Structure 1
Amino acid sequence: MATPHPFSTKDRILGAAEELFAQFGFAGTSLRQVTSRADVNIAAVNYHFGSKENLVNEVFRRRMDEMSQQRMAALKAAQKDHPGELEPILAAFVAPALAMAQDQHNGAFARMIARAYAEKNDALRRFLSEHYGHVLREFAKAISGCLPRLSKESLYWRLDIVVGALTYAMADFGLIKRPSGVTEAAHRERAARELIEFAAAGFRSA
Protein backbone atom coordinates (compact mmCIF):
# COMPACT_ATOMS: atom_id res chain seq x y z
CA MET A 1 0.00 0.00 0.00
CA ALA A 2 1.36 3.46 -0.93
CA THR A 3 2.44 5.77 1.85
CA PRO A 4 0.04 8.72 2.08
CA HIS A 5 1.39 12.22 1.54
CA PRO A 6 1.71 14.17 4.83
CA PHE A 7 0.09 17.28 3.34
CA SER A 8 -3.18 17.84 1.55
CA THR A 9 -3.27 17.95 -2.23
CA LYS A 10 -3.92 21.70 -2.14
CA ASP A 11 -0.95 22.33 0.17
CA ARG A 12 1.35 20.23 -2.03
CA ILE A 13 0.31 22.20 -5.10
CA LEU A 14 0.87 25.53 -3.33
CA GLY A 15 4.26 24.46 -2.01
CA ALA A 16 5.42 23.16 -5.39
CA ALA A 17 4.19 26.28 -7.18
CA GLU A 18 5.93 28.56 -4.69
CA GLU A 19 9.27 26.83 -5.17
CA LEU A 20 8.97 26.80 -8.96
CA PHE A 21 7.78 30.41 -9.22
CA ALA A 22 10.72 31.48 -7.06
CA GLN A 23 13.16 29.56 -9.25
CA PHE A 24 11.80 30.11 -12.75
CA GLY A 25 9.37 33.01 -12.46
CA PHE A 26 5.65 33.08 -13.16
CA ALA A 27 5.80 33.08 -16.94
CA GLY A 28 8.63 30.53 -16.91
CA THR A 29 6.75 27.96 -14.84
CA SER A 30 4.19 25.68 -16.47
CA LEU A 31 1.32 23.92 -14.76
CA ARG A 32 2.87 20.65 -15.95
CA GLN A 33 5.97 21.44 -13.88
CA VAL A 34 3.79 22.19 -10.87
CA THR A 35 1.81 18.97 -11.15
CA SER A 36 5.01 16.96 -11.57
CA ARG A 37 6.64 18.55 -8.50
CA ALA A 38 3.47 18.16 -6.41
CA ASP A 39 2.83 14.62 -7.69
CA VAL A 40 -0.75 15.39 -8.73
CA ASN A 41 -2.61 15.53 -12.04
CA ILE A 42 -3.78 18.65 -13.86
CA ALA A 43 -7.38 17.97 -12.80
CA ALA A 44 -6.36 18.58 -9.18
CA VAL A 45 -4.97 22.03 -10.05
CA ASN A 46 -8.12 22.90 -11.98
CA TYR A 47 -10.32 21.67 -9.13
CA HIS A 48 -8.58 23.65 -6.40
CA PHE A 49 -7.58 26.79 -8.31
CA GLY A 50 -9.28 26.90 -11.71
CA SER A 51 -6.41 28.65 -13.50
CA LYS A 52 -2.71 29.44 -13.27
CA GLU A 53 -3.54 33.06 -12.42
CA ASN A 54 -5.63 31.96 -9.45
CA LEU A 55 -2.85 29.60 -8.37
CA VAL A 56 -0.36 32.49 -8.39
CA ASN A 57 -2.75 34.60 -6.32
CA GLU A 58 -3.34 31.86 -3.77
CA VAL A 59 0.38 31.24 -3.33
CA PHE A 60 0.72 34.90 -2.36
CA ARG A 61 -2.42 34.89 -0.21
CA ARG A 62 -1.12 31.96 1.84
CA ARG A 63 1.82 34.04 3.09
CA MET A 64 0.61 37.61 2.72
CA ASP A 65 -2.49 37.20 4.88
CA GLU A 66 -0.37 36.14 7.85
CA MET A 67 2.30 38.78 7.30
CA SER A 68 -0.30 41.52 6.88
CA GLN A 69 -2.02 40.53 10.14
CA GLN A 70 1.31 40.59 11.97
CA ARG A 71 2.18 43.99 10.53
CA MET A 72 -1.16 45.53 11.46
CA ALA A 73 -0.98 44.15 14.99
CA ALA A 74 2.57 45.46 15.40
CA LEU A 75 1.55 48.85 14.00
CA LYS A 76 -1.32 49.11 16.47
CA ALA A 77 1.03 48.25 19.35
CA ALA A 78 3.65 50.75 18.14
CA GLN A 79 1.13 53.57 17.98
CA LYS A 80 -0.17 52.72 21.44
CA ASP A 81 3.19 52.24 23.16
CA HIS A 82 5.28 54.79 21.21
CA PRO A 83 2.92 57.50 19.93
CA GLY A 84 4.48 59.87 17.42
CA GLU A 85 7.71 57.83 17.08
CA LEU A 86 8.80 56.86 13.58
CA GLU A 87 11.19 53.98 14.23
CA PRO A 88 8.65 51.69 15.98
CA ILE A 89 6.30 52.16 13.03
CA LEU A 90 9.03 51.19 10.60
CA ALA A 91 9.92 48.21 12.77
CA ALA A 92 6.29 47.07 12.62
CA PHE A 93 6.57 47.05 8.84
CA VAL A 94 10.06 45.58 8.48
CA ALA A 95 10.34 42.98 11.24
CA PRO A 96 7.44 40.65 10.26
CA ALA A 97 8.72 40.48 6.68
CA LEU A 98 12.29 39.64 7.67
CA ALA A 99 11.06 37.11 10.22
CA MET A 100 9.08 35.38 7.50
CA ALA A 101 12.11 35.36 5.22
CA GLN A 102 14.21 33.84 8.01
CA ASP A 103 11.84 30.87 8.24
CA GLN A 104 13.33 28.19 6.00
CA HIS A 105 9.84 27.14 4.92
CA ASN A 106 9.25 30.65 3.58
CA GLY A 107 12.59 31.19 1.85
CA ALA A 108 11.11 30.51 -1.57
CA PHE A 109 8.36 33.03 -0.91
CA ALA A 110 10.89 35.79 -0.24
CA ARG A 111 12.50 35.10 -3.61
CA MET A 112 9.08 34.96 -5.24
CA ILE A 113 8.29 38.47 -3.98
CA ALA A 114 11.45 39.67 -5.70
CA ARG A 115 10.21 37.95 -8.86
CA ALA A 116 6.91 39.79 -8.56
CA TYR A 117 8.77 43.11 -8.63
CA ALA A 118 11.06 42.06 -11.47
CA GLU A 119 8.40 40.63 -13.77
CA LYS A 120 5.68 42.74 -15.31
CA ASN A 121 2.54 40.89 -14.25
CA ASP A 122 -0.35 43.31 -14.25
CA ALA A 123 -2.88 40.78 -12.96
CA LEU A 124 -0.71 39.92 -9.95
CA ARG A 125 0.03 43.57 -9.17
CA ARG A 126 -3.70 44.31 -9.33
CA PHE A 127 -4.44 41.40 -6.97
CA LEU A 128 -1.80 42.54 -4.47
CA SER A 129 -2.99 46.13 -4.62
CA GLU A 130 -6.64 45.18 -4.10
CA HIS A 131 -5.99 42.80 -1.21
CA TYR A 132 -2.98 44.30 0.57
CA GLY A 133 -2.82 47.93 -0.53
CA HIS A 134 -4.70 48.92 2.62
CA VAL A 135 -1.73 47.79 4.71
CA LEU A 136 0.61 50.20 2.92
CA ARG A 137 -1.97 52.97 3.24
CA GLU A 138 -2.23 52.43 7.00
CA PHE A 139 1.54 52.60 7.37
CA ALA A 140 1.67 55.68 5.14
CA LYS A 141 -0.92 57.34 7.35
CA ALA A 142 1.04 56.43 10.49
CA ILE A 143 4.32 57.74 9.04
CA SER A 144 2.60 60.93 7.92
CA GLY A 145 1.42 61.45 11.49
CA CYS A 146 5.06 61.47 12.63
CA LEU A 147 6.19 63.72 9.77
CA PRO A 148 3.33 66.13 9.05
CA ARG A 149 5.52 68.44 6.93
CA LEU A 150 6.41 65.67 4.47
CA SER A 151 4.32 65.91 1.30
CA LYS A 152 2.10 63.00 0.33
CA GLU A 153 4.02 62.60 -2.93
CA SER A 154 7.39 62.39 -1.18
CA LEU A 155 5.94 60.06 1.45
CA TYR A 156 4.79 57.53 -1.12
CA TRP A 157 8.00 57.79 -3.13
CA ARG A 158 10.06 57.06 -0.04
CA LEU A 159 7.75 54.29 1.15
CA ASP A 160 8.01 52.65 -2.27
CA ILE A 161 11.81 52.78 -2.05
CA VAL A 162 11.73 51.25 1.44
CA VAL A 163 9.50 48.42 0.17
CA GLY A 164 12.05 47.74 -2.57
CA ALA A 165 14.95 47.71 -0.11
CA LEU A 166 13.03 45.39 2.20
CA THR A 167 12.27 43.02 -0.68
CA TYR A 168 15.96 42.97 -1.55
CA ALA A 169 16.87 42.17 2.06
CA MET A 170 14.21 39.44 2.30
CA ALA A 171 15.52 37.72 -0.82
CA ASP A 172 19.09 37.88 0.57
CA PHE A 173 20.56 39.32 -2.63
CA GLY A 174 22.85 41.68 -0.77
CA LEU A 175 26.62 41.89 -0.76
CA ILE A 176 26.75 41.45 3.02
CA LYS A 177 26.58 37.76 3.85
CA ARG A 178 26.08 36.25 7.28
CA PRO A 179 29.49 35.97 8.99
CA SER A 180 30.54 32.63 10.42
CA GLY A 181 29.56 32.34 14.05
CA VAL A 182 26.56 34.67 13.64
CA THR A 183 23.16 33.02 13.75
CA GLU A 184 20.61 33.58 11.01
CA ALA A 185 18.31 35.25 13.54
CA ALA A 186 21.04 37.67 14.66
CA HIS A 187 21.92 38.44 11.04
CA ARG A 188 18.30 39.25 10.23
CA GLU A 189 17.97 41.40 13.36
CA ARG A 190 21.02 43.39 12.24
CA ALA A 191 19.49 43.76 8.79
CA ALA A 192 16.27 45.04 10.36
CA ARG A 193 18.10 47.59 12.53
CA GLU A 194 20.14 48.90 9.62
CA LEU A 195 17.12 49.12 7.32
CA ILE A 196 15.00 50.89 9.94
CA GLU A 197 17.75 53.42 10.68
CA PHE A 198 18.31 54.00 6.96
CA ALA A 199 14.57 54.36 6.24
CA ALA A 200 14.03 56.73 9.17
CA ALA A 201 16.81 59.00 7.92
CA GLY A 202 15.33 58.94 4.44
CA PHE A 203 11.86 59.84 5.61
CA ARG A 204 13.18 62.67 7.79
CA SER A 205 15.43 64.20 5.15
CA ALA A 206 14.46 67.66 3.91
Structure 2
Amino acid sequence: MGDTVNSSASTKERILTAAEALFAQRGFEGASLRQLTAAAGVNLAAVNYHFGSKDNLVEEVFKRRLDQLNARRLAALKQASGQAETDLEAVLDAFIRPALELSHEGGAGLFMRVLARAFAEHDDSLRKFLSDNYGHVMRQFTAEFARLLPQLSKEELYWRIDLVTGALTHAMSGFGIIQRKSDVSETIHREQTIAHLVRFSAAGLRAP
Protein backbone atom coordinates (compact mmCIF):
# COMPACT_ATOMS: atom_id res chain seq x y z
CA MET A 1 0.00 0.00 0.00
CA GLY A 2 2.81 2.40 0.94
CA ASP A 3 4.61 1.78 -2.35
CA THR A 4 1.40 2.52 -4.26
CA VAL A 5 0.96 5.84 -2.43
CA ASN A 6 4.59 6.80 -3.04
CA SER A 7 4.32 5.84 -6.71
CA SER A 8 1.17 7.92 -7.07
CA ALA A 9 2.83 10.88 -5.36
CA SER A 10 5.94 10.61 -7.54
CA THR A 11 3.80 10.46 -10.70
CA LYS A 12 1.94 13.62 -9.62
CA GLU A 13 5.23 15.35 -8.82
CA ARG A 14 6.67 14.32 -12.21
CA ILE A 15 3.66 15.78 -14.00
CA LEU A 16 3.93 19.05 -12.02
CA THR A 17 7.66 19.36 -12.76
CA ALA A 18 7.14 18.72 -16.47
CA ALA A 19 4.19 21.14 -16.58
CA GLU A 20 6.21 23.87 -14.87
CA ALA A 21 9.01 23.57 -17.44
CA LEU A 22 6.57 23.44 -20.33
CA PHE A 23 4.52 26.43 -19.14
CA ALA A 24 7.73 28.43 -18.65
CA GLN A 25 8.82 27.65 -22.20
CA ARG A 26 5.54 27.79 -24.13
CA GLY A 27 3.02 29.57 -21.92
CA PHE A 28 -0.31 28.18 -20.75
CA GLU A 29 -2.09 28.33 -24.09
CA GLY A 30 0.93 27.14 -26.07
CA ALA A 31 1.55 24.03 -23.98
CA SER A 32 -0.64 21.09 -25.00
CA LEU A 33 -1.56 18.09 -22.87
CA ARG A 34 0.06 15.88 -25.51
CA GLN A 35 3.37 17.69 -25.03
CA LEU A 36 2.95 17.42 -21.28
CA THR A 37 2.31 13.68 -21.23
CA ALA A 38 5.36 13.13 -23.48
CA ALA A 39 7.58 15.27 -21.25
CA ALA A 40 6.35 13.62 -18.03
CA GLY A 41 6.37 10.09 -19.45
CA VAL A 42 2.75 9.46 -18.48
CA ASN A 43 -0.51 8.94 -20.29
CA LEU A 44 -3.47 11.32 -20.41
CA ALA A 45 -5.40 9.19 -17.93
CA ALA A 46 -2.74 9.91 -15.28
CA VAL A 47 -3.09 13.66 -15.81
CA ASN A 48 -6.88 13.42 -15.58
CA TYR A 49 -6.67 11.21 -12.49
CA HIS A 50 -4.42 13.59 -10.57
CA PHE A 51 -5.72 16.94 -11.80
CA GLY A 52 -9.01 16.54 -13.65
CA SER A 53 -8.37 19.40 -16.09
CA LYS A 54 -5.64 21.58 -17.50
CA ASP A 55 -6.89 24.56 -15.45
CA ASN A 56 -6.58 22.54 -12.25
CA LEU A 57 -3.08 21.46 -13.28
CA VAL A 58 -2.06 25.10 -13.81
CA GLU A 59 -3.36 25.99 -10.34
CA GLU A 60 -1.52 23.08 -8.75
CA VAL A 61 1.74 24.22 -10.38
CA PHE A 62 1.27 27.53 -8.58
CA LYS A 63 0.16 26.00 -5.29
CA ARG A 64 3.22 23.75 -5.12
CA ARG A 65 5.54 26.77 -5.01
CA LEU A 66 3.38 29.53 -3.54
CA ASP A 67 2.07 27.60 -0.51
CA GLN A 68 5.67 27.08 0.56
CA LEU A 69 6.78 30.61 -0.28
CA ASN A 70 3.96 32.34 1.55
CA ALA A 71 4.25 30.14 4.65
CA ARG A 72 7.89 31.25 4.87
CA ARG A 73 6.99 34.87 4.24
CA LEU A 74 4.28 34.96 6.91
CA ALA A 75 6.58 33.30 9.46
CA ALA A 76 9.30 35.88 8.71
CA LEU A 77 6.79 38.75 8.83
CA LYS A 78 5.43 37.58 12.18
CA GLN A 79 8.95 37.62 13.57
CA ALA A 80 9.83 41.02 12.11
CA SER A 81 6.67 43.12 12.38
CA GLY A 82 4.46 44.91 14.85
CA GLN A 83 7.20 46.11 17.21
CA ALA A 84 7.98 49.73 17.96
CA GLU A 85 11.58 49.12 16.87
CA THR A 86 10.64 47.30 13.64
CA ASP A 87 12.29 48.97 10.67
CA LEU A 88 11.40 48.96 7.00
CA GLU A 89 14.43 46.87 6.06
CA ALA A 90 13.35 44.01 8.35
CA VAL A 91 9.90 43.82 6.74
CA LEU A 92 11.41 44.01 3.26
CA ASP A 93 13.81 41.21 4.16
CA ALA A 94 10.81 39.09 5.25
CA PHE A 95 9.22 39.74 1.84
CA ILE A 96 12.33 39.35 -0.32
CA ARG A 97 14.53 36.71 1.33
CA PRO A 98 12.06 33.75 1.25
CA ALA A 99 11.37 34.41 -2.44
CA LEU A 100 15.03 34.51 -3.45
CA GLU A 101 15.88 31.49 -1.31
CA LEU A 102 13.05 29.49 -2.85
CA SER A 103 14.03 30.51 -6.39
CA HIS A 104 17.34 28.67 -5.89
CA GLU A 105 15.79 25.47 -4.55
CA GLY A 106 14.81 22.43 -6.58
CA GLY A 107 14.53 24.15 -9.94
CA ALA A 108 12.10 26.76 -8.65
CA GLY A 109 13.83 29.40 -10.77
CA LEU A 110 11.75 28.14 -13.69
CA PHE A 111 8.65 28.91 -11.69
CA MET A 112 9.37 32.64 -11.85
CA ARG A 113 9.07 32.48 -15.63
CA VAL A 114 5.75 30.71 -15.17
CA LEU A 115 4.64 33.49 -12.83
CA ALA A 116 5.71 36.12 -15.36
CA ARG A 117 3.69 34.27 -18.01
CA ALA A 118 0.60 34.43 -15.81
CA PHE A 119 0.67 38.22 -15.91
CA ALA A 120 1.92 38.58 -19.49
CA GLU A 121 -0.92 36.40 -20.84
CA HIS A 122 -3.63 38.31 -18.92
CA ASP A 123 -5.25 35.13 -17.68
CA ASP A 124 -8.13 36.54 -15.61
CA SER A 125 -9.16 33.23 -14.05
CA LEU A 126 -5.59 32.54 -12.94
CA ARG A 127 -5.22 36.05 -11.55
CA LYS A 128 -8.43 35.53 -9.58
CA PHE A 129 -7.10 32.22 -8.26
CA LEU A 130 -3.87 33.90 -7.13
CA SER A 131 -5.75 36.81 -5.56
CA ASP A 132 -8.26 34.58 -3.77
CA ASN A 133 -5.61 32.22 -2.39
CA TYR A 134 -2.63 34.47 -1.76
CA GLY A 135 -3.94 38.03 -1.66
CA HIS A 136 -4.14 37.91 2.15
CA VAL A 137 -0.35 37.58 2.35
CA MET A 138 0.22 40.76 0.37
CA ARG A 139 -2.43 42.55 2.45
CA GLN A 140 -0.54 41.71 5.65
CA PHE A 141 2.71 43.06 4.25
CA THR A 142 0.95 46.15 2.91
CA ALA A 143 -0.56 46.84 6.34
CA GLU A 144 2.90 46.72 7.92
CA PHE A 145 4.38 48.95 5.20
CA ALA A 146 1.51 51.41 5.76
CA ARG A 147 2.21 51.43 9.52
CA LEU A 148 5.89 52.21 8.90
CA LEU A 149 5.21 54.77 6.13
CA PRO A 150 2.22 56.80 7.39
CA GLN A 151 3.20 59.75 5.19
CA LEU A 152 2.25 57.85 2.00
CA SER A 153 -1.27 57.80 0.62
CA LYS A 154 -2.78 54.38 -0.02
CA GLU A 155 -2.50 54.86 -3.79
CA GLU A 156 1.15 55.95 -3.60
CA LEU A 157 2.01 53.03 -1.33
CA TYR A 158 0.40 50.57 -3.75
CA TRP A 159 2.38 52.01 -6.65
CA ARG A 160 5.64 51.60 -4.77
CA ILE A 161 4.92 48.08 -3.52
CA ASP A 162 4.02 47.05 -7.06
CA LEU A 163 7.39 48.32 -8.30
CA VAL A 164 9.23 46.54 -5.47
CA THR A 165 7.43 43.31 -6.41
CA GLY A 166 8.44 43.80 -10.05
CA ALA A 167 12.09 44.27 -9.07
CA LEU A 168 11.95 41.11 -6.94
CA THR A 169 10.37 39.08 -9.76
CA HIS A 170 13.11 40.29 -12.10
CA ALA A 171 15.81 39.27 -9.61
CA MET A 172 14.24 35.84 -9.13
CA SER A 173 13.97 35.13 -12.84
CA GLY A 174 17.74 35.23 -13.35
CA PHE A 175 17.37 37.31 -16.51
CA GLY A 176 19.27 40.32 -15.13
CA ILE A 177 22.58 41.64 -16.46
CA ILE A 178 24.31 40.96 -13.12
CA GLN A 179 25.13 37.27 -13.14
CA ARG A 180 26.95 35.27 -10.48
CA LYS A 181 30.73 35.30 -10.99
CA SER A 182 32.44 31.93 -11.20
CA ASP A 183 34.47 32.59 -8.03
CA VAL A 184 31.38 33.61 -5.99
CA SER A 185 29.28 30.94 -4.32
CA GLU A 186 25.53 30.68 -4.90
CA THR A 187 24.89 31.59 -1.25
CA ILE A 188 27.08 34.70 -1.31
CA HIS A 189 25.57 35.86 -4.60
CA ARG A 190 22.06 35.42 -3.18
CA GLU A 191 22.96 37.38 -0.03
CA GLN A 192 24.40 40.17 -2.17
CA THR A 193 21.20 40.23 -4.23
CA ILE A 194 19.03 40.36 -1.11
CA ALA A 195 21.11 43.18 0.41
CA HIS A 196 20.99 45.27 -2.77
CA LEU A 197 17.29 44.69 -3.28
CA VAL A 198 16.39 45.54 0.33
CA ARG A 199 18.40 48.79 0.16
CA PHE A 200 16.97 49.72 -3.24
CA SER A 201 13.40 48.95 -2.17
CA ALA A 202 13.71 50.78 1.14
CA ALA A 203 14.99 53.89 -0.65
CA GLY A 204 12.10 53.74 -3.11
CA LEU A 205 9.49 53.28 -0.41
CA ARG A 206 10.91 56.09 1.74
CA ALA A 207 11.37 58.58 -1.12
CA PRO A 208 9.51 61.90 -0.63
TM-score of the pair, normalised by structure 1: 0.93
Residue number in structure 2 paired with 1:187 = 189
- The 2-side partners of 1:154 and 1:63 are apart by 30
Cα 1:32–1:75 shift into 2, 3 Å: same
Aligned partner letter, 1:106: A
Residues 102 and 185 in structure 1, CA contact (< 8 A), matched pair in contact too:
no
Aligned partner letter, 1:108: L
Of stretches 33-42 and 58-67 in structure 1, the one that deviates more from structure 2 is: 33-42
Residues 110 and 170 in structure 1, CA contact (< 8 A), matched pair in contact too:
yes
For 1:72-83, list aligned pairs within 5 A: 72-79=74-81, 83=85
Report the aligned-residue RMSD. 1.7
Residue number in structure 1 paired with 2:147 = 145
For 1:105-124, list aligned pairs within 5 A: 105-124=107-126
Cα 1:168–1:57 shift into 2, 3 Å: same
- Which of 41, 44, 64 aligns to 2:43? It is 41
- The 2-side partners of 1:153 and 1:83 are apart by 26
* Number of corresponding residues: 203
Aligned partner letter, 2:164: V
Residues 70 and 96 in structure 1, CA contact (< 8 A), matched pair in contact too:
yes
- Which of 132, 151, 176 aligns to 1:130? It is 132
Residue number in structure 2 paired with 1:89 = 91
Residue number in structure 1 paired with 2:3 = none
Are 2:204 and 1:202 equivalent residues in the alignment?
yes
Cα 1:82–1:89 shift into 2, 3 Å: farther
Aligned partner letter, 1:115: R
- Which of 143, 161, 164 aligns to 1:162? It is 164
- The 2-side partners of 1:150 and 1:204 are apart by 9
- The 2-side partners of 1:78 and 1:203 are apart by 18
Aligned partner letter, 2:52: G
Q: How far off its partner does 1:180 sit?
A: 2.0
- Runs of 5+ consecutive residues of structure 2 not aligned to the other structure: 1-5
- Runs of 5+ consecutive residues of structure 1 not aligned to the other structure: none
Q: How far off its partner does 1:25 sit?
A: 1.2
Deviation per CA, 1:5-63, whole angstroms, max 9, x where unpaired? 79622111111101111111111111111111111111111121111111000000011
Residues 84 and 145 in structure 1, CA contact (< 8 A), matched pair in contact too:
no
Query: Which contiguous aligned blocks of 4+ residues in structure 1 show a shift greater than 3 angstroms?
Result: 4-7, 80-84
TM-score of the pair, normalised by structure 2: 0.92
Q: How far off its partner does 1:107 sit?
A: 2.1
